[in-house]
Amino acid sequence: MTSTSINMFRFIYSIVWQIIEVFLPFAGLFSKKIRTGNFGRGKTISSLNKWRNSIPEDTDVIWFHCASLGEFEQGRPVMEALKKRHSNSVIALTFFSPSGYEVRKSYSGADWIGYLPLDTFFNAQKFVKILRPEQAFFVKYEFWMNYFLQLKKSKTQLFCISVILREEQRFFKWHGFVWKPMLKSVTHFFVQNESTLQLLNKIKFFNIEMSGDTRFDRVIEIAKSPVELPWISSFKKNDFLVVLGSSYTEEESLIEMLLSRIPDIKVCVVPHEIHSTRIQESLMRFESFGAVLLSSFQPEKNIEARVLIVDSIGMLSSIYAEANAAVLGGGFGKGLHNSLEIAVYGLPMAFGPNYKKFQEAVDLVQLGAAFPLENLEELSSFIENSRYENSIPNDGKKYVEEHAGATSAILKGIEKYSA
């Protein structure tokens, strides 16, 4: 528990990341995602340097960091609110994952967007020295030791927002003391729930506010003005439409069997990944049901199509607005996707059994507004109930509205740190 052991841990931590940085290009030979991330990170410092030199030296920079797309949606309401409040400041936005950066690299709400270099001592030192942020916001569970310590050294205010932690995480184990210097770098924690607050209290952190989850604010904002999609109405006509959102092969396999069992429904499939291999896999799976890609959909020619596969990004929230029911992807794997995008419309929804790490999904199941399922029989029952019995309560929308306000709470919380 001595400072020597903590410094030794930090040294080993940095060495490990340097080794990863050396060998990651070799891993990229076998993974397009890793290769894309490596290429993007290789350009970060030169891109950042060029941008920082193009703006006045005394410009206040506000830095937001998100792991991927889901965390971006959580940080976005705060980012956009700060942009309005501080019109003379600029926003720098970083992602760790290509699945976030590649989708949002043209996002107009940020002035510079790039990949976060790996968390080595030298990368963090160089990045923070060039960027010189006034404030930094790290979203949900992005905790990077060298970046946090460099931000503290540069006297940057660091806020962790929409934080959610669990007891089995590294901070709360017997060796958690080695992470304390990093956590002490945080100016203020804005957490999603009471259990996270109590866990941090237990290890003697009290600069915390339970503000909730900013995604509630975001989905409400989107639902107020969904993008009009004439093609979805042309496909749906008067039929019962099921949207399969952020799907993987497990959900698609169940939907394939469902279409054989219930012939008078239509399905709009929105795969989680839209690279060509994945899209072709979905197209072949639903070929016997007249499946057609959105990019080639023609209402007058595809009259018999029962499955429409969306091969572009950014439309899922608005597609839900036209649905009669939704099946959400990720529940048969490691991570359920955003159930709030569905709940805000009061839609009945179902998802796989691995949802208990997601508080909003647990809450929606308890309310009876969402249904966990494991097999075709349960999926069929869910669809039939949604169609005929009208037995699914419209509590999802109410739940979302009752949990709004995290963005305002965070903005109010950071005001006391303003000069």
pLDDT at 391: 52
pLDDT at residue 8 tops 80: yes
pLDDT at 41: 95
pLDDT at residue 1 tops 70: no
Supply φ then ψ for residue 61, to 5 degrees: -105, 130
Query: pLDDT of 328-369, one tens digit each?
Result: 999 999 889 999 999 999 999 999 999 998 889 999 999 999
Decide whether 3-213+404-415 matches 224-402 in CATH topology.
yes
Greatest CA separation for the chain: 73
DSSP state letter for 172: G
Pairwise CA distance, residues 89 & 72, whole Å? 19
Torsion region of 405: left, alpha or beta (phi above 0 gives left; psi -120 to 50 gives alpha): left
pLDDT at residue 5 tops 80: no
Which single residue is written with the structure tokens 């404030």? 135
Which single residue is written with the structure tokens 């060796």? 175
Pairwise CA distance, residues 164 & 151, whole Å? 22
CATH 3.40.50.300 assigned to 224-402:
no
Pairwise CA distance, residues 198 & 209, whole Å? 11
Structure tokens belonging to residue 410 = 């965070």
Query: pLDDT of 248-275, one tens digit each?
Result: 999 999 999 999 999 889 999 999 888 8
Query: pLDDT of 100-113, one tens digit each?
Result: 999 899 999 999 99
- Mean pLDDT for the stretch of residues 365-382: 94
Side-chain-side CA neighbours of 138 within 13 Å: the count stands at 22
pLDDT at 389: 60
Confidence of residue 387 (pLDDT cuts 50, 70, 90): confident
Which single residue is written with the structure tokens 């339970």? 210
The three-point CA angle 14-16-17 to 5° equals: 65
- Mean pLDDT for the stretch of residues 154-175: 94
Percent of the chain with pLDDT over 90: 81
Cβ neighbour number for residue 73 with a 10 Å cutoff: 23
**Could you tell me the residue ranges of all domains in the chain?**
3-213+404-415, 224-402
Q: Measured between alpha carbons, how far is residue 149 from residues 146, 186, 231, 309 in Å?
A: 5, 9, 50, 46
R_g (Cα) of the chain, nearest Å? 23
Going through 30-131 in order, the beta strands assigned E by DSSP cover 61-66, 90-95, 112-115
pLDDT at 2: 62
Please report, in angstroms and rounded to a whole number, the separation of the first and last CA atoms in the chain. 35
- β-bridge pairing 240-247 and 265-271: parallel
Confidence of residue 225 (pLDDT cuts 50, 70, 90): confident
Give the bridge partners for 309, in sequence order.
Answer: 269, 293
pLDDT at 302: 87
Question: Across the chain, what does the average pLDDT equal?
Answer: 92
pLDDT at 273: 85
Pairwise CA distance, residues 348 & 358, whole Å? 18
Q: Do 159 and 185 form a contact (C-beta atoms < 8 A)?
A: no
Confidence of residue 394 (pLDDT cuts 50, 70, 90): low
pLDDT at 345: 93
pLDDT at residue 207 tops 80: yes
pLDDT at 300: 83
Q: Do 364 and 397 form a contact (C-beta atoms < 8 A)?
A: no
In CATH terms, the fold of domain 3-213+404-415 is: Rossmann fold (3.40.50)
DSSP class per residue in 47-82: HHHHHHHHS-TT--EEEEEESSHHHHHHHHHHHHHH
Query: pLDDT of 63-80, one tens digit each?
Result: 999 999 889 999 999 999
Higher pLDDT, 133 or 32: 133
- Mean pLDDT for the stretch of residues 75-91: 94
- Mean pLDDT for the stretch of residues 125-151: 97
Confidence of residue 226 (pLDDT cuts 50, 70, 90): confident
DSSP class per residue in 221-288: HHHHSPPP-HHHHHHHTTSEEEEEEEE-HHHHHHHHHHHHH-TTEEEEEEES--SHHHHHHHHHHTGG
